[in-house]
Amino acid sequence: MIVRPSDFPPPWSAGEAFRPPTDPADERIEVGFLVVGAGPAGLAAAIRLGQLLEEHPEQAERLGDVPVAVLEKGKAPGAHLVSGAVVNPRALQRLFRGRKRLDQLPFAGPVEAESVLFLTRKHAYRIPTPPTMVNDRNHIASLSRLGGWLAEEAESLGATVLPETVAESLLVEGGRVVGVRTGDRGRGRNGEALANFEPGSDLTARVTILAEGTQGHLTGAALERFGLQGENPQVWALGVKEVWRVPRPLRRVIHTMGWPLRARAKYREFGGSFIYPVGEDLVTIGMVVGLDYRDTALSVHDLLQELKTHPRIRRILEGGERVQWGAKTIPEGGFVALPRRFHAPGLLLAGDGVGLVNVPALKGIHYAIESGRLAAEAAWRTLARGTSARAALASYDESLRSSFIWRDLREVRNMRQAFGHGFYVGGALASAMTASKGRFPPGESRTERDAEQSLLHTRRADLYPAPDGRLTFDKLSSVFASGNRTRDDQPNHIRVQTRVPRELAELWAHMCPAQVYEVGEEDRDGTVEVHLAPSNCVQCGAITAKGGRLTPPEGGSGPEYTIT
């Protein structure tokens, strides 16, 4: 029987994310500009708006007491940010208009050297660094730390950052987005109001900028509802990473391909790993795999554990200690999966939420920052007399299309999809694309929804190492190492069908790095019950790509990353 996750859609509809304002007018909270998400895109927007306000103080009274508000669902800015990361400093320098020197930016250090390795189980072969991956003049950073730093900068420019605050739905009036409704707090497992129940509020603003990151909850709904989707569906990869304190500094940036992923086309295992030094005493190591994989036994977390047992890799971590763990999805569709429009009445969309990621170069942070900056400028234009709000917001699309983001993504537009043909063919195609700067092969490839990949099962899981608690770790202790201490007694925020074929349940159980899903009792018709432990969830978003839907739990829930 052929099982596809898409055959079992989650009990959720985009309509749930929209509502009219319901709070009485005097209880609504009015802000000037509203940003959802304190990640690099959102905070860049807040910073740019702050700069514009400094330059044009006469606009202050039109923006009210709170000219810029940034909502963040995590406990603090950075709590839900996880990435490699090697960052191109260009967008940050543009954002701060050259007024910050490189050494003032929160980077852990420049990339001094790099290598790309092709791994087999026992060996590592150095291969020439593909041109798209060359990282000279780039810097290593902890995205979580960068987020914290950007938030401070935004606040110093007058933004109000509101952590532990979920944007649960978009407020729409007369077809226009007028703000968001924040999530309730203090509900019990069955939705009942607890002693300290605090309802959400209607927050209104002249422009709402969604910078929710990958699998953005409102972003996804808006793309659907306002008909903004492009021709190709978005696809994602799941990254799971750890940060280690090590006795010997690593002096180069390493990317690997090959083992432990399988090269044959039928498995569709596209991805690799990264190992970066973060300052003198920390190393970050992560495994990234496209969610179009088909084997129900695949577990990216366990592949990461397996990766660490490779003799070449083990050496890097020897004598060290794991200090943090994190997981998150990355949009991988690239240029062909971008929305056809990035704005709607009252609304602008920026960052990973709309897929501004250059997969072959493994870069997305500087695009997020630049898109946030451009969104801020478009939002600001709504204040200009003689410009309609519609025209001002539409100018965002124009500025995106003439930016370096567009140019870069266009150049590498078919590479990721090439790997759908397997590693070796994909590799050859990718080289051809690079050499021709994207002109060859011609045309645009298409993406297929991750959830539409039919499932197969193998005994891949037999090869995962048993956790030893020193080099390799189980999922539950990893969830602990993410800082997750989500309140248990709250409603389940994950929408999935809970009676599904065994293969699908097993897919989810292996897929989820946080062990949220468990295969339960089998029924007479061969389906099984799926049990959930939602408070384990680190909100990576993988379930949304593979047949379910992640919605935001109570504000403040989830991981508390600090150095991922």
Partner 1 sequence: MKTLVFLEHHDGAIQKGALGVLAKAVALGGAVAGVLTGSDVRALAEEAGAHGAPTVWVADDERLAAPLPQPRVDVLAKLVRDEGFDTVLFAQSVLAADVAAGLAARLDAGLNWDLVDLNADGVGTRPALADSVYVDVGWTDGPRLAVFRSGTFDPSRTGGTAEVKDAAVELEDFSTLAEMVEQAHAEQQGPSIEEADVIVAGGRGLGEPEKFSLAEELAQALGGAVGATRAVVDAGWYPYSAQVGQTGKTVSPKLYVALGISGAIQHKVGMQSSNVIVSINKDPNAPIFEFSDLGVVGDLHEIVPKLTELVRARRS
Partner 2 sequence: MKVAVCVKAVPDAASGRRIDPSTKRLDRSGELAISEWDTYAIEEALVLTEAAGDGEVVVVSLGPERAVDAVRKALAMGADRAVLVTDPAFEGADLLGTAKALAAALEREAPDLVLFGQQSADGGGACLWAAVADRLRRPIVSQVSELTVDGGTLTGKRQTEFGYDTLRLPLPAVVAVADSINTPRYPSLKGIMGAKKKPQETLAAADVGGLDESRTTVLALNPPPARGEARRIDDDGTAAEKIVEFLAERRLL
**Residue listed under structure tokens 């989650």:** 10
Give the whole-angstrom CA distance, residue 352 versus residue 331: 7
- Contacts of residue 423, defined as CB under 8 A and 6 or more positions apart, other chains included, come to 257, 258, 261, 263, 270
Query: CB-wise, 447 or 490, nearer to partner 1?
Result: 490
Closer of 65 and 280 to partner 2 (Cβ): 65
CB 471 within 8 A of CB 314: yes
CB of 395 to partner 2, least distance (A): 30
Sites for partner 2 among residues 138-177 (CB under 8 A): 160, 162, 165
Q: Which of residues 237-256 bind partner 2 (CB under 8 A)?
A: none
Residue type, 59: Q
Q: Which stretch binds partner 1 (CB under 8 A): 168-176, 308-316, 381-389, 486-494?
A: 486-494
DSSP secondary structure code for residue 130 in this structure? P
Q: Which tokens go with 451?
A: 């959830």
Least spacing, CB of residue 168 vs partner 1, in Å: 23
Which of these ranges, 62-70, 235-243, 255-263, 506-514, lies near partner 2 under the rule CB under 8 A? Answer: 62-70
Could you tell me what percentage of the chain is helix, strand and coil, using 3-state DSSP and rounding each to the nearest 5?
Answer: 30, 25, 45
Question: Would you count residue 486 as binding partner 1 (CB under 8 A)?
Answer: yes
Residue 66 interacting with partner 2 (CB under 8 A): yes
Between CA 398 and CA 402, with CA 399 as vertex, the angle to 5 degrees is: 90
Chosen from partner 1, partner 2, none, partner binding at 104 (C-beta under 5 to 8 Å by type): none
Q: Please give the size of the binding site for partner 2, defined by CB under 8 A.
A: 23
Q: What residue spans of 414-459 are helical by DSSP H?
A: 415-418, 423-435
410 or 531: CB nearest partner 1: 531
How many alpha carbons lie under 13 Å from residue 316 in its C-beta half-sphere? 22
Helix (H) or strand (E) holding 186: strand 185-187
Question: Segment 16-55, which members bind partner 2 (CB under 8 A)?
Answer: 29
Nearer to partner 1, 436 or 477 (CB): 477
Catalogue the E-assigned strands of 149-260: 160-162, 167-173, 176-182, 185-187, 193-198, 202-204, 207-210, 236-245, 253-258
Does 185 bind partner 2 (CB under 8 A)? Our answer is yes
- Give the CA angle between residues 181, 183, 188 to the nearest 5°: 150
Least distance (Å) between residue 38 CB and partner 2: 14
195 is an interface residue for partner 2 by CB under 8 A: yes
Query: Could you say whether residue 264 binds partner 1 (CB under 8 A)?
Result: no
Question: Which position among 318, 489, 522, 523 is part of the footprint of partner 1 (CB under 8 A)?
Answer: 489
Q: Binding to partner 2 by residue 188, rule CB under 8 A?
A: no
Cis preceding-peptide flag for 534 (omega within 30 of 0): no
Q: Which of 83, 132, 182, 215 binds partner 2 (CB under 8 A)?
A: 182
Using a 10 angstrom Cβ sphere, with 0-12 exposed, 13-18 middle and 19 or more buried, the burial of residue 130 is middle
Q: Which stretch binds partner 2 (CB under 8 A): 68-76, 101-109, 125-133, 344-352?
A: 68-76
Yes or no: say if 38 and 205 are a contact pair by the CB < 8 Å rule: no
Residue among 36, 52, 76, 337 that touches partner 2 (CB under 8 A): 76
Judge whether 41 and 211 are in contact, CB under 8 Å: yes
Residue 480, binding choice from partner 2, partner 1, none, Cβ under 5 to 8 Å by partner class:
partner 1
**Residue with smaller CB distance to partner 1, 231 or 488:** 488
Give the CA distances from residue 214 to residues 141, 301, 332, 360, in Å, rounded to whole numbers and listed in that order.
19, 19, 10, 17
Q: How many helices (H) and strands (E) does the chain have?
A: 15, 28
User: What whole-number distance in Å separates Cα of residue 422 and Cα of residue 429?
Assistant: 11
Nearer to partner 1, 253 or 479 (CB): 479
Query: How many Cβ atoms sit within 10 Å of the Cβ of residue 65?
Result: 11
The least distance separating partner 2 from the CB of residue 36, rounded to whole angstroms, comes to 14
Rounded CA separation 82/357 (Å): 15
Least distance in Å: CB of 537 to partner 1?
A: 13
Q: Does residue 75 belong to the site contacting partner 2 (CB under 8 A)?
A: yes
The yes or no reply on residue 535 touching partner 1 (CB under 8 A) is: yes
Residue with Cβ nearer partner 1 (104 or 477)? 477
Is 123:172 a contact under the CB 8 Å cutoff?
Answer: no
* Number of residues that this document lists for the chain: 564
Nearer to partner 1, 7 or 518 (CB): 518
Considering only 112-120, 195-203, 397-405, 482-490, which stretch makes contact with partner 1 by CB under 8 A? 482-490
Residues within the interface to partner 2 (CB under 8 A) = 29, 65-66, 69, 75-76, 79, 160, 162, 165, 182, 185-186, 194-196, 198, 201, 203, 483, 485, 560, 562
Residues within the interface to partner 1 (CB under 8 A) = 476-477, 479-480, 485-489, 533, 535
